[in-house]
């Protein structure tokens, strides 16, 4: 079968040949989209079929529970079913497709034992044991499970510091390894290393720190100005210095110490100024889910996409698993961003920066180095 032009260009880019201008603007934008969908089987009438095959989106995200309908299943029923679904998606895609999941373990697990997957434990459990062998066991088990399924991107580990054990979305769910940033670095590093052995990418989160929050960004705006500590940056600083990190997920928290106007996902000061320029991160900045209440209940989609990209976000997570479900979210987002570029609200150069980072990390054995 003849490979289409996008695949050839992507392959050439992986070898260092293609330049951003060689690929159409819509194809570049599509690579920036990571989209959630409904369905445990791949059928040609499912909008995700079109999004992957025709639009050439960069990735998908999997869930076991559908929030808008408050029902299961969404994408996950069993190992055999999920393996078939993922293989079908990859076969549809003309370029390497990211298949992402939130598989931290414990209370944040999409691959539950009730579906036949291995039992997992929380980050807090691993941090309290503080035994590198125990952490390595669970990290390796998770990575091997994902690799066998065909999942190639895990939105883990959570490197938030357990500043507030009562934080409803971090501490209460036992997602933090420890209040000690060095322990967080140690155990997060093991998770990253074990996933790397299985060729599964990781994505530490939530920058610049969600562990001190008193509210949940899924529900609405969260201000950590009075509780955030600079120590919450330590895991990022050390993991970046160790060249261990290829993707980092943003947080939607507002932190006036770092930006007096915007939440982190929309903040150029935080994402470009702090994360890239001060901490030296040259990989992919991935937004936390733009369907979460902190964003979706306060910003129209067009404004959210414009602000996130201009702040420095490279990959936009559109879970389609918030208050409402839009089967055509990929088409809608792509066309909005295309229009924003054509009207001068986002520069073509900004799209090119993200596109080139995505190409580099998709062939993630290449060195992580910036093009700017």
**Do the domain assignments include residue 323?**
yes
> Which residues are CB-contacts of 88 (< 8 A; sequence separation ≥ 6)?
42
Query: CB under 8 Å to 93, separation ≥6 — which residues?
Result: 52, 53, 56
Q: Left (φ > 0), alpha (ψ -120 to 50) or beta: where does 191 sit?
A: alpha
| Angstrom distance (rounded) from CA 78 to CA 265 | 34
pLDDT given at position 368: 38
Structural domain contains residue 302 = yes
Residues 6+ apart with CB under 8 A from 17: none
Q: What tokens does 105 get?
A: 């373990």
3-state secondary structure at position 359:
helix
What total number of domains does the chain contain? 1
Residue 13 domain flag? no
Q: Is 288 a catalytic residue?
A: yes
Catalytic residue among 27, 259, 288, 289: 288
- Residue 194 is predicted with a pLDDT of 98
The answer to whether the beta carbons of residues 7 and 91 sit under 8 Å apart is no
pLDDT of the residue at 23: 72
Residue 348 host element (H or E): helix 348-362
CA distance 273 to 267: 9
325, 255, 265: which is closest to 290 by C-alpha?
265
Q: What is the pLDDT of residue 364?
A: 63
- Let me know: does 86 contact 149? Beta carbons within 8 Å: yes
218 is an active site residue: yes
Kindly give the pairing relationship between strand 108-109 and strand 103-105. antiparallel
Query: Containing domain of residue 337, as a range?
Result: 24-362
How far out from the chain centre does Cα 318 lie?
A: 10
Contact 46, 39 (CB under 8 A): yes
Q: In 3-state terms, what secondary structure has residue 161?
A: coil
Helices and strands (H and E) in the chain: how many: 13, 10
Q: Which of 195, 206, 218, 252 does the annotation list as catalytic?
A: 218
Distance, in Å, from the CA atom of 220 to the CA atom of 143, rounded to the nearest integer, reads 32
CATH number of the domain at 275, please: 3.20.20.300
- Confidence at residue 363, expressed as pLDDT on a 0 to 100 scale: 81
Cis status of the peptide bond prior to 157, with omega within 30 of 0: yes
- Digitized pLDDT (tens) for each residue of the chain, 372 residues in all: 333 444 444 444 443 334 445 579 999 999 999 999 999 999 999 999 999 999 999 999 999 999 999 999 999 999 999 999 999 999 999 989 999 999 999 999 999 999 999 999 999 999 999 999 999 999 999 999 999 999 999 999 999 999 999 999 999 999 999 999 999 999 999 999 999 999 999 999 999 999 999 998 998 999 999 999 999 999 999 999 999 899 999 999 999 999 999 999 999 999 999 999 999 999 999 999 999 999 999 999 999 999 999 999 999 999 999 999 999 999 999 999 999 999 999 999 999 999 999 999 998 643 334 444
Please give the DSSP secondary-structure letter assigned to residue 273. Answer: I
Phi and psi for 125 in degrees, rounded to 5?
Answer: -60, -45
Per-residue pLDDT at 7:
47
Q: How far does CA 6 lie from the centroid of its chain?
A: 23
Q: How many residues does the chain have?
A: 372
Q: Judge whether 3 lies within some domain.
A: no
Q: In this structure, is residue 11 part of a structural domain?
A: no
Tokens representing residue 300 in the block: 């129209």
């Amino acid at each position: 079968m003849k490979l289409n032009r996008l695949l050839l260009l992507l392959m050439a880019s992986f070898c260092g040949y293609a330049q951003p201008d060689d690929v159409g603007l819509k194809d570049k934008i599509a690579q920036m989209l990571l989209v959630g969908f409904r369905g445990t089987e791949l059928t040609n009438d499912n909008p995700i079929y079109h999004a992957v095959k025709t639009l050439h989106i960069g990735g998908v995200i999997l869930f076991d529970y559908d929030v808008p309908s408050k029902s299961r299943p969404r994408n996950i029923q069993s190992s055999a079913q999920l393996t078939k679904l993922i293989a079908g998606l990859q076969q549809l895609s003309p370029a390497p497709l990211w298949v992402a999941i939130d598989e931290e373990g414990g209370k944040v697990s999409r691959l539950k034992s009730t579906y036949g997957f291995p039992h997992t434990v929380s980050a807090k459990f691993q941090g309290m044991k503080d035994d590198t062998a125990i952490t390595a066991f669970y990290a390796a088990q998770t990575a091997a499970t994902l690799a066998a399924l065909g999942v190639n991107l895990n939105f883990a580990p959570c490197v938030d510091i357990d500043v507030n054990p009562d934080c409803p979305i971090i501490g209460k769910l036992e997602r933090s390894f420890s209040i000690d940033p060095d322990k967080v670095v140690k155990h997060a590093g093991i998770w990253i290393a074990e996933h790397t052995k299985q060729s599964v990418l990781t994505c530490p989160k939530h920058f610049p720190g969600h562990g001190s929050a008193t509210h949940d960004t899924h529900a609405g705006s969260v201000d950590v100005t009075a509780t955030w500590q600079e120590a919450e940056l330590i895991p990022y600083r050390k993991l970046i210095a160790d060249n261990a990190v290829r993707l980092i997920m943003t947080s939607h928290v507002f932190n006036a110490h770092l930006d007096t106007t915007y939440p982190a996902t929309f903040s150029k000061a935080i994402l470009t100024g702090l994360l890239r320029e001060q901490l030296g991160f040259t990989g992919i900045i991935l937004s936390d889910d733009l369907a979460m209440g902190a964003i979706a209940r306060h910003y129209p989609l067009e404004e959210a996409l414009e602000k996130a990209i201009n702040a420095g976000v490279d990959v936009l997570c559109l879970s389609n698993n918030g208050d409402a479900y839009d089967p055509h979210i990929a088409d809608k987002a792509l066309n909005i961003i295309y229009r924003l570029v054509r009207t001068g609200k986002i520069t073509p150069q900004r799209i090119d920066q993200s596109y080139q980072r995505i190409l580099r990390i998709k062939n993630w054995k290449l060195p992580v180095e910036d093009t700017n």
